[in-house]
Structure 1
Amino acid sequence: MATTKLVMKLVYILLTLFTFTISPAISTAPEGCDSGAENPCIDKAKALPLKIVAIVAILTTSLIGVMAPLFSRHIACLRPDGHGFMIVKCFASGIILGTGFVHVLPDSFEMLSSECLNDDPWHKFPFAGFVAMLSGLATLAIDSITTSLYTVKNAIHTVGHNHSHGVVPETTKDNTQLLRYRIIAMVLELGILFHSVVNGLSLGATNDACTIKGLIIALCFHHLFEGIGLGGCILQADFKNVKKFLMAFFFAGTTPCGIFLGIALSSIYRDNSPTALITTGLLNACSAGMLIYMALVDLLATEFMGSMLQGSIKFQIKCFAAALLSCAIMSVVAKWA
């Protein structure tokens, strides 16, 4: 019940921010900032079919990515306690790290330093880096405080139950580790959903057919491996099946929903209006901070310092190579995304 309540609170926060994001979508761009005025690729008739393709393709690849780990128990080489799964998870963690550093954070810097924003204060202070830093620290606080609260609550509950039967309580180490996995899965999903909303809204609102074609390929690849990383965390969290599939479908459906909303607002959306740039830029910075923290601290560092990897230098090198490869791939994909 406690975990369910926490998930609902995180969902409520996301929906609140999602509603807030709609506001800049109907803003008007200042004179001289209409970047699409002379763009030959702007064609609403050609863009709409591409957006429908994007919805189907992104939904499908997202579901494949996030659901694959949930069924990995039935594949010998991808068992959650096996080396194959660990290598795949490190690869997917690198995808999340690359997303934060190479995709989301640079977008935030670009938006918040746009010439369409006032010079003071937006060009005189690095708001993108500042918000990303605060977001990382806030994620650390949420991670730490939530773990402490649930650990204490679980310990008190366990002691009270065992004492009622006259039994000495056993260690709660396994329960604490399971709790950590659940918090990691929920916070990671929240960070991913932030930038998924922004990606979907931006893709759905643009009528630049040339841009959409590249974005479809880039976002499909991106969501496939990001889904694998999230799916692995959901699997380790050992939620009940209903919660597993709810989190999986929520991840897979967020970007398509954002695209639908963008299509609905495409006639009045101005992605270079000051309000749109500020809101989207700050949301991206917040998401980047969360993703970078989660990838480095809760995913890569946790696994590399764990018993499985610490027991073999050769296996550590393989996992590091997998993470480095995925970061390199995301850096290449950044050319089109």
Structure 2
Amino acid sequence: MIQTYILYLLVIPFVQAQSTNYAQCTASPSGSYDLGLHITAVFVLLVASAIGVFLPVFMAKNVDEKSNSGNKRDEWVRRVFFVMKYFGTGIIISLAFCHLLQESFENFSNPCIGTLAYRPTTPSIAMGSMLVIWLVDYFSARWASRGDKSPPLAQIQPSKPTSIPLTSTNEDSIQPAPATPPVFADLGCTHIHRPTSDELDPNSQRAHWDVQLLEGGIVFHSIMIGVTLGAQTGGFEVTFAALVFHQLFEGLGLGTRIGALVWKRSWTKWLMCTLYAITTPVGIAIGIGVHQSFNENGKRELIAIGVLNSISAGILLYGGLCQLLYAEWVIGDMRDTSNARVCSALIALLLGVIAMALIGKWT
């Protein structure tokens, strides 16, 4: 595949050239390949992915349409969606740490690659990916803010109290407003200044960009695990079973974020859901088509998968930690909400982290 060779050439300077004649570096014999089971996996994972990503979006649609109905059933739907939202946050964070980074470390530590000339290759690629996404996010925010005509808080000067007479008996109690806001206001540490209000607004372009960013990282990962599963021979049944839950939970994490936004064109959210649902099955179909020439222990294949996993990890780490945890919890709505909502959201978050971490044992 062309992409495999391109990624191989990009990372080859980090790998010392040496010949490897390990028996495990050869492709598995074609006789052990179960074509019927692999074709079944295409449809099973399609259903699991579709249920995971579409279910939260349908629930969110009901929440929006019936938010003021006062019906107990609608209130139950809203509460379930709330729990699923933070369960999905845990899924995304655990996916980055326990799946993508771990798999990339395993790829680059495989003896079939050889000795790495630069040992921290995996975290370096993830860090570079995260910085690139941060720069894109930053300059996109600058570009989007040009359409906002309201001045930032730091430029708002307080009006002079000219209407207050000098002979007022309360003159000594009048405290003039500071010429500039406190330094912590610029850091988003006060109630009157929240620099991420765009991110928290379900109608904003910034919030939509953040969700599309998350989907990009997930799609990168999904296509690679699909190709690998489609070409896999030994241990296929265990990996297949684990990936069913993997795709279901991952879809829940993405679907809740898509469903939480207000889309000007409703077909956009359905397109994003469909793209996630078909990515892994398409990858499996590609893996089935190339399984005779695809060597899961080949040097080029290991490097290509390792690079894509590292890139996806960087994207999801930035999205999960900055856009989900920090923006929603530290300076967002969860900061001032009730203790009951905080407890339920924390439990859901931890359950999502644990669930995805456990699945990492078999993938």
Give 1 or 2 for the bigger CA radius of gyration: 2
Q: Check 1:78–1:203 CA distance in 2 against 1; reply closer, same or farther (3 A cut).
A: farther
1:166 match: none
* Aligned partners of 2:103 and 2:306 also within 8 Å: yes
Q: Which residue of 2 aligns with 1:250?
A: 275
**1:227 to 2:251 alignment:** yes
Where does residue 224 of structure 2 map in the other structure?
Answer: 198
1:323 matched residue in structure 2: 349
Q: Which amino acid aligns with 1:101?
A: F
Matched, 1:207 2:194: no
Q: 2:24 aligns with which of 20, 23, 34?
A: 34
- 1:133 Cα deviation after fit: 1.4
Per-residue CA shift, 1:33-62, capped at 9, x if unaligned? 4357789x9711xx2122122111111111
User: Partners in 1 of 2:94 and 2:333 — Cα distance?
Assistant: 25
1:57 and 1:220 in contact (8 A); partners too: yes
| Residue aligning to 2:148 | 155
Aligned with residue 57 of structure 2, among 70, 74, 94: 70
Q: 1:299 aligns with which of 305, 324, 343?
A: 324
Once the two structures are TM-superposed, the CA of residue 83 in structure 1 deviates from its matched residue by 4.2
Question: 1:114-171 deviations in whole A, cap 9, x for unaligned?
Answer: 11123241xx42100111112122222222221221232x336xxxxxxxxxxxxxxx
**Residue aligning to 1:88:** 84
CA 1:78–1:262: 2 relative to 1, 3 Å:
farther
Conserved? CA contact 1:30–1:273, under 8 Å: no
Tell me by how many angstroms 1:316 deviates. Answer: 1.4
Rounded Cα–Cα distance in structure 2 between residues aligned with 1:303 and 1:205: 40
More moved, 327-336 vs 264-273: 327-336
1:127-206 alignment, distance < 5 Å:
127-152=121-146, 154-155=147-148, 177=201, 178-206=204-232
Tell me, in whole angstroms, the C-alpha distance in 1 between the residues paired with 2:242 and 2:325. Answer: 24
1:271: how far off? Answer: 1.5
1:132 maps to amino acid: A
Task: Among all aligned residue pairs of Structure 1 and Structure 2, give the percentage whose two residues are the same amino acid.
Answer: 32
Q: 1:231 to 1:19 in 2, by over 3 A?
A: farther
SS in 2 for 1:116: coil
Q: How does 1:273-312 map to 2 (within 5 A)?
A: 273-305=298-330, 306-308=332-334, 310-312=336-338
TM-score (normalised: structure 1): 0.79
Q: Deviations over 1:227-270 (max 9, x none)?
A: 12211222233222211111111111111111111111100111
Letter in 2 for 1:71: F
State how far apart, in whole Å, the 2-side matches of 1:38 and 1:229 are.
35
- Judging changes above 3 Å, is the alpha-carbon distance between structure 1 residues 22 and 256 closer, same or farther for their aligned structure 2 residues? farther
Aligned residue pairs: how many? 292
Once residues 37 and 255 of structure 1 are traced to their aligned partners in structure 2, the CA distance between those partners, rounded to angstroms, is 22
Q: Distance in 2 between matches of 1:19 and 1:114?
A: 22
Q: Aligned pair in 2 of structure 1 residues 318, 103: CA closer, same or farther (>3 Å)?
A: same
Kindly provide the amino acid, as one letter, of the partner of residue 243 in structure 1. T
Query: Is contact 2:27–2:296 with CA below 8 Å preserved after alignment?
Result: no
Superposed displacement of residue 302, structure 1: 2.4
Give the CA deviation at 1:308. Answer: 4.5
For residues 42 and 301 of structure 1, what CA distance do their matches in structure 2 show? 51
Q: Which has the higher helix share?
A: 1
CA distance in 1, matches of 2:297, 2:27: 12
Match of 2:93 among 78, 85, 97: 97
1:312 Cα deviation from its structure 2 partner: 1.7
Question: How far apart, CA to CA, are the structure 2 residues paired with 1:303 and 1:175?
Answer: 9
200 and 242 in structure 1: CA distance in 2 versus 1, 3 angstrom threshold? same
Give the SS at the match of 1:272. coil
Q: State the partner residue of 2:40.
A: 53
Paired position in structure 2 for 1:21 = 4
Whether the 8 Å contact between 2:27 and 2:295 is mirrored in structure 1 is no
AA paired with 2:135? A
Superposition TM-score, scaled by structure 2 size: 0.73
Alpha-carbon separation, structure 1, partners of 2:108 and 2:3: 18
Distance 1:203 1:321 in 2: 32
Contact 2:20 2:114 in 1 (8 A): no
Closer/same/farther in 2, CA of residues 37 and 298 from structure 1, 3 Å limit: closer
How far did 1:84 drift?
A: 3.3
Question: In 1, are the aligned partners of 2:25 and 2:112 still within 8 Å (CA)?
Answer: no
| Counterpart in the other structure of 1:241 | 266
Question: 3-state DSSP class of the match of 1:68?
Answer: helix
Contact residue 57 and residue 216 of structure 1 kept, 8 A: no
CA distance in 2, matches of 1:143, 1:118: 36
- The answer to whether the 8 A contact 1:188-1:294 is kept is yes
